[in-house]
Amino acid sequence: MMKKCRVLYDFSGETDNGELTIYENEVLQIIRQDVGEGWWEAENPSGQRGLVPEAYVEMVEENQGSKPITTQQSTVSQDDEWDDDEWDERASQSSYDAQQQEVSSQDSGLNGNNYGLSAPNRQFKQRNSEASARSGTVKKNFASRFSVFAKTGGEAYLLGGGPKKGASPDGTIRIIEAEDGPRWEETVGKYTCEIKNPKKESKLKGIKSFIAYQVTPSNTGIRVSRRYKHFDWLYERLAEKFTLVIVPPLPDKQVTGRYEEAFIEKRMDQLQRWMNRMTAHPVIGPSDVMIHFTSCTDEKLWKQGKRKAEKDEFLGAAFYQNIEPPANNLDVATIERQHDTFTRFTKSFDSSVAVIQQVIHDYSKKHLGPFKREYQKIGNSFTELATTFNLDNRPNPEGKDDPPQESVQLTEALNFTGKTYEEIGELFYQQPKYDLHPFEDFLKEYGGMMSCFPDMIHFHKHTVQTVKECQKQREEQKMDFEEAEAVKKRADVISYAMMAEVNHFHRERVEDFKWIMQVYLKEQIKFYKSLTIKLEEALQKYDELDR
Amino acid sequence: MMKKCRVLYDFSGETDNGELTIYENEVLQIIRQDVGEGWWEAENPSGQRGLVPEAYVEMVEENQGSKPITTQQSTVSQDDEWDDDEWDERASQSSYDAQQQEVSSQDSGLNGNNYGLSAPNRQFKQRNSEASARSGTVKKNFASRFSVFAKTGGEAYLLGGGPKKGASPDGTIRIIEAEDGPRWEETVGKYTCEIKNPKKESKLKGIKSFIAYQVTPSNTGIRVSRRYKHFDWLYERLAEKFTLVIVPPLPDKQVTGRYEEAFIEKRMDQLQRWMNRMTAHPVIGPSDVMIHFTSCTDEKLWKQGKRKAEKDEFLGAAFYQNIEPPANNLDVATIERQHDTFTRFTKSFDSSVAVIQQVIHDYSKKHLGPFKREYQKIGNSFTELATTFNLDNRPNPEGKDDPPQESVQLTEALNFTGKTYEEIGELFYQQPKYDLHPFEDFLKEYGGMMSCFPDMIHFHKHTVQTVKECQKQREEQKMDFEEAEAVKKRADVISYAMMAEVNHFHRERVEDFKWIMQVYLKEQIKFYKSLTIKLEEALQKYDELDR
């Protein structure tokens, strides 16, 4: 039976070289896999045949191959297999609806750019509490019932105050005034987590198998074992709890291909980076659910903590009840201007990142194909010349056939040069692993963070609008002074939180981009140095001929 | 009126980028010359429009533009202008017919590859001397009357002996036995020539203008002034005199374009290389005509020497009368085997050189377009990101707008990186000048030398055939022993000369390819080092952020 593969990335083939142009998600019939040098021969749905780069496609099962499967759909397949264990059955009775969300989620991100992530939109449970009823004091609703502002209870919180009774498990979170503006107060006991040793484990007599990662937090030093779905659960908790905090989605859930080990390693690295960002965040790191996730070793306690987290009522807008902002009141006009500046920044950032991603993607692709071929062509032409020079049989009366020493040495030097350029071609092929791919992964991670911006901006915009509406109503005597002041005070909490988070983001951004540029440039330098060394070795062969 | 340009090289345009695919010798209408970055907008004869690289086309005069002009035709135009002076009028009365040859010459070279040269085929005057009549003793002619063998008098010489009376102006040329086979004996008084200071001179009150090169030979140290047409005259003398010696054609006669100065410099360099090869050759260097060309300063003596050279009868096969070979007779079977080996070598060399030329040409083209654009795209994407990061206005209650120092520094570092990659793009654009173009020029020169092989091989092959035929006739008693032995003795002179020349060629080849590979690799190393330095400067900007 004909094998099939699915196209992972667009590839613009050079027809002259017998290549086929292919498009993401197309399913191709594989004609030959032994073409060599990373190329397969394949046939596209229109019946055209040609060479395609092996790295741009992945094998599919016969029964899957017949219909094109979108990336969205494919993201669930692996973890699905592992999902029906005891832990998940209980979970399905709780308010935990991540599973469902994930399937129904659409591409997220700004401007329709989803950064290659299956980043689910945050979907908040409707917090239809008594506060909602109390908002009847305001004659009209300022935001759509279905907006994130409404859904997370933002309107209810602003207009009605703290609807939740009792203490939040996270205690009070303070925002302090720093030189560069408001900051989240750093708590003592910062920690990091090391994720290591992914192990394939199984249950139900081997029918179900899954990967368990060993997570060791620096504060306890005690290792805990966590599966991807546990991380996913954690993500859901954080995302629904911290409305104005950037909680980037987890790395892609992907169908594991032939490179299962490499895939697991890569996912682990991505989880590590995600975890680093979460533990380092001054609000998320010390949160109750994070501590539970990183430190709980006992199964019974785990389940208790899990249920507690799922029942946490101080999420969405209710979270702001526990924030203690700086004492000063904020000026609405200043807030609005800064809000607009940040909005402009996110839009510009969005498009710059999209441009770099495209450039890097194209450039990376060229390393795999055209660049490698270019240098190998050069190498081959030198090797061919060396083959010709092997025919140097000097005519002489005795008919002796050996060419003189210097001719033999030149031929050897040319052969060496040919080999050198072949190797340079291979270095080009390998190079993206060291510079472009890490850069791409980094930008993907940022893409995930950026997918949180629209909700943040939306939430804060409606906060400001609500404040302005209340002031207007007060001026029109439709709202009394104290009530309007109370709304403003609560709005200030949200604005301070927004400021603190934006400032936190910018500080991280500067650090992160500095880091990735250093990584990238160092690898570029290393690369060009390695070419120089190779060429110097080749040159030496000719210099030796002088001796 | 619409300006036009002629396409110098094929260019495969990327339609997606608005480029136009163009073919050598096409005449395009120029739409815009101010597109920038080395691109013009043009329309091809089919009416398609697009961008074309400026470096791939040259402007043509309106009256020329209407018909496509082939390279062959264009080679005569400049020097034509200079040709009707007194010197040439006299020349036309002599046997000198170079002018006519040049116009009628067809593309030369093996396998139809003319290496981009206007290398005229050697066209020899029919030496229809008394020897031809004496060949009546042989019942049939072994070679076509129109072959180079017949035309240069090879057959007449072999069968009839030395037809020319008196002493050759060049004296006796000896072939000696060396370790690696027969060699031309090196004469004392080797010299080199320096060609310098091309000067535009004019006559006929400025109507006729030409370039005069100052030629200083190392043996006399006295400067002589020579024009291109003098070199051309010299080439014709050498080519018709030395049948089995490689006399490469002169560099292209080209229409001078806008870059007249650069063109003159380049032609001078090429003439220098040609002259180096000629003066270094043990037979050509000391020849009477070369000495005359390099040393004659007096106009009257010049004309005398010119007429003497044109009347030299010891050319073509007659030249072999003056050669004194080693004493040993040669074995025909050995000679034939070596002949075949060399023939195989030339064919293989021909195709290897064609491959390298193509590879280098394509690779060089990529530097001008795609590579440059690739790095500039990367540069632009960093610059764009820096522009975004300029929008980093940290929110704070006072509404201060200055981003903190580390953010400003990151933005500057990104801008610097953007500029660095722009510059790297420019370095790619410039690089072929230093490595690929010299390599191309070198291969062109070798192409010229290789265009001499077919005649050499043809001449020698017929020599061997004639010897074999005579032996057969002697066995059949149709030719007496002495006559056959005399033919064999004369054929040995030719075979020894062929051996000496092939050995000379191989020695030069080893030296030359060693030299060009060193030039090329050194420039490649320099290039990659310069990229490394640029990138290190960029990296430093980020490293400084730590301080």
Long-range contacts formed by B133-136: CB under 8 A, 24+ apart: B134/B159, B134/B160, B135/B159, B135/B160
Judged by a CB distance cut-off of 8 A, whether residue B338 touches chain A is: yes
Cα–Cα distance for residue pair B521/A233, rounded to 1 Å: 58
List the one residue out of A91, A149, A94 whose CA is nearest residue A122.
A149
List the one residue out of B297, B541, B325 whose CA is nearest residue B415.
B541
Residues A138-163 have a mean pLDDT of: 63
Backbone angles phi, psi at B218, to 5 degrees: -70, -25
CB-based contact A425:A372 (threshold 8 Å): yes
In this predicted model, what pLDDT tens digit does every residue of A216-245 receive, in sequence order?
999 999 999 999 889 999 999 999 888 889
Instruction: Look at residue A85 in the predicted model and tell me its pLDDT.
Output: 40
In this predicted model, what pLDDT tens digit does every residue of B166-216 receive, in sequence order?
667 778 899 999 887 899 999 888 899 999 988 887 776 666 778 889 999
The C-alpha angle A422, A425, A431, rounded to 5 degrees, equals: 140
CA dist list (Å): A306 to A225, A296, A299, B48, B188: 15, 10, 10, 68, 100
> Is the confidence at residue B7, as pLDDT, over 90?
no
Instruction: Look at residue A121 in the predicted model and tell me its pLDDT.
Output: 41
In this predicted model, what pLDDT tens digit does every residue of A482-496 receive, in sequence order?
889 999 999 999 999
CB-based contact A383:A419 (threshold 8 Å): yes
Tokens, residue B329: 């007779």
Instruction: Look at residue B291 in the predicted model and tell me its pLDDT.
Output: 94
CB-based contact A495:A330 (threshold 8 Å): yes
Beta strand spans in B218-293 (E): 224-227
Find residues 491-520 of chain B whose CB sits inside 8 Å of chain A: 498-499, 502-503, 506, 509-510, 513-514, 517-518
pLDDT grade for A302, boundaries at 50, 70 and 90: very high
**B399–A510 CB contact, under 8 Å:** no
Instruction: Look at residue B274 in the predicted model and tell me its pLDDT.
Output: 95
Instruction: Look at residue A77 in the predicted model and tell me its pLDDT.
Output: 34
CA dist list (Å): B145 to A465, B149, B154, B457: 103, 8, 11, 17
Instruction: Look at residue B546 in the predicted model and tell me its pLDDT.
Output: 67
Find residues 65-84 of chain B whose CB sits inside 8 Å of chain A: none
CA A33 to chain centre: 31
User: B10, B111, B180: best mutation site toward chain A, by most A Cβ within 10 Å?
Assistant: B180
> Is the confidence at residue B255, as pLDDT, over 50?
no
| Burial degree of A43 (CB within 10 A; 0-12, 13-18, 19+) | middle
Residues B361-386 have a mean pLDDT of: 93
Maximum C-alpha span of chain A: 120
User: B366, B388, B410, B415: best mutation site toward chain A, by most A Cβ within 10 Å?
Assistant: B388
Instruction: Look at residue A193 in the predicted model and tell me its pLDDT.
Output: 95
Cα–Cα distance for residue pair A329/A488, rounded to 1 Å: 9
In this predicted model, what pLDDT tens digit does every residue of A17-49 receive, in sequence order?
778 888 888 899 998 887 766 778 899 888 888
Q: Which residues of B touch A184 (CB under 8 A)?
A: none
**Averaged confidence pLDDT in chain B:** 80
In this predicted model, what pLDDT tens digit does every residue of A365-424 receive, in sequence order?
899 888 999 999 999 999 999 999 988 888 887 777 678 888 999 999 999 999 999 999
Instruction: Look at residue A116 in the predicted model and tell me its pLDDT.
Output: 37
> What one-letter code names the amino acid at A290?
M
CA dist list (Å): B420 to A158, A352, A360, B36, B427: 51, 18, 16, 20, 10
Beta bridge partners of B59: B5
First to last CA, chain B: 62
Cα–Cα distance for residue pair A244/A234, rounded to 1 Å: 17
Q: Would you mind telling me the total number of residues written for chain A in this entry?
A: 547
Q: Which residues contact A104 (CB under 8 A, 6 or more apart)?
A: none
| Structural domains of chain A sorted by starting position, each given as residue range(s) with its CATH number in brackets | 4-69 (2.30.30.40), 73-109+116-127+171-324 (3.30.1520.10), 358-441+526-546 (1.20.1270.60)
User: What is the side-by-side order of every strand in the sheet holding A181-184?
Assistant: A181-184, A173-178, A323-324
Residues above pLDDT 90, as percent of chain B: 48
> Is the confidence at residue B123, as pLDDT, over 80?
no
Write the ipTM.
0.75
CA dist list (Å): B105 to B109, B237, B452: 12, 17, 14
Q: Which bin fits B281, alpha (ψ -120 to 50), beta or left (φ > 0)?
A: beta
Residues B389-401 have a mean pLDDT of: 81
CB-based contact B447:B116 (threshold 8 Å): yes
Judged by a CB distance cut-off of 8 A, whether residue B377 touches chain A is: yes
Q: What is the DSSP string of A236-303?
A: HHHHHH-TTS--PPPP------S-HHHHHHHHHHHHHHHHHHHHHSTTTTTSHHHHHHHH---HHHHH
Judged by a CB distance cut-off of 8 A, whether residue A405 touches chain B is: no
**A498–B395 CB contact, under 8 Å:** yes
**B344–A382 CB contact, under 8 Å:** no
Instruction: Look at residue B108 in the predicted model and tell me its pLDDT.
Output: 34
Tokens, residue A28: 């191709």
CB-based contact B59:B40 (threshold 8 Å): no
Residues A160-165 have a mean pLDDT of: 64
